Amino acid sequence: MKRIGYVGLSTPIYYDYRNMASKAPSDGSDSPNPILEGAFGALLLYDEIWFLCQSLCPENMRYLPYVKFLDEIGHAPNVDPEWLPDPRDVFSAAALGDFDDSSRAYQLVKDQANIYWDAAADNHTHGLIIGNQRLSGNSWSVRNVIYDLLLVERLPKNVELITNSFSSRLFKTEIAVGKKLQLVESLILEGVPQFLSPSGPYHSCVEEVRGSTYLSYFREWITKDAFTSNQADLKEIKKETEAKLAEAQKQIFLKYLDPKGSYKSFAETVLGAGVDTLLPGAATIKDLIGQRNEEKKKQGLRWQGFILDARSRIGGS
């Protein structure tokens, strides 16, 4: 089973209005190049990356064979943005407060994402045309996070929402509360290689590592067995995966990637957390998304994010 990451309206942290991307079918007017946190790492840790539309995809990722645009292949689920639950019915006041605080850290997040060039980085697009809907990308919009959650719930069960330094705060607060009631495991990979340039995060040297036997195994393990693994297994997988990433960094990435755009982050996948644990009051969401199959219901909602606001924990540079 493939591990698939989903990039939605809330995922790109910024849009570079000084370095425009080529015109996409979904662009309503201009075409700022999206900036994705940890996207180079995502290329290693996901088999495929699905974007709601091309306007949310960095320029140099748009023609990769494992990148898909749901609106262009006719698979974008129909979620009416005018009919969303109130954010206060989905997230706690504490989570919403954390989100507001994080969205004010514009320069900090920009620095941590290693945007070293003179980018005109804004948190939103102008209008996007997706089917018969007019939407917009915005990393500071809680409603966009809810929209993305609803959409992911309509996609296959192995699709995970990719979050960022802003939106991940909504979930981290809820998980901290949930731990008092239910054990929530997570797998944190430290020292994940990252790379970013004005045109995007892609470099062809990533292909040699993506295709390695071990990372292919890791991606399959995440989708099939990670949620039922014990703590000892998680630690062993973590240790082995970090070692493989460190080896790739030393033997491949350091040879080809510009040091200006290279850095390290950590990636966290939440394990064993259902939609009720992540989102107290989420019956509203279940009502909106309709009947889910039994396997999806048991598994619950999954999310994955590369959270760069804690880089100091790993001492990466």
> What pLDDT, on the 0 to 100 scale, is given for residue 274?
42
Chain centroid, CA 163 distance in Å: 4
> What pLDDT, on the 0 to 100 scale, is given for residue 287?
38
Asked if residues 6 and 223 have their Cβ atoms less than 8 Å apart, the reply is no
> What pLDDT, on the 0 to 100 scale, is given for residue 116?
87
Take residue 212 and report the two structure tokens written for it: 């390695």
Residue 136, H or E segment? none
Map out the domains of the chain as residue ranges. Answer: 4-313
> What pLDDT, on the 0 to 100 scale, is given for residue 181?
35
> What pLDDT, on the 0 to 100 scale, is given for residue 297?
41
pLDDT truncated to tens, each residue of the chain (317 aa)? 888 989 999 999 999 999 999 999 999 889 999 999 888 888 998 999 999 999 999 999 999 999 999 999 888 877 777 788 888 888 888 888 988 887 778 788 788 777 888 989 899 998 899 888 889 999 999 999 999 988 888 887 778 888 888 888 887 655 544 443 333 467 777 888 888 999 999 999 999 999 899 999 988 888 888 777 788 888 898 899 989 999 998 889 989 999 888 878 777 776 644 444 344 333 333 333 333 333 334 333 333 333 323 232 223 33
SS3 303: strand
Residue given tokens 């979904």 in the structure block:
26
Asked if residues 296 and 275 have their Cβ atoms less than 8 Å apart, the reply is no
| Distance of alpha carbon 53 from alpha carbon 72, whole angstroms | 7
> What pLDDT, on the 0 to 100 scale, is given for residue 205?
93
| Distance of alpha carbon 26 from alpha carbon 100, whole angstroms | 28
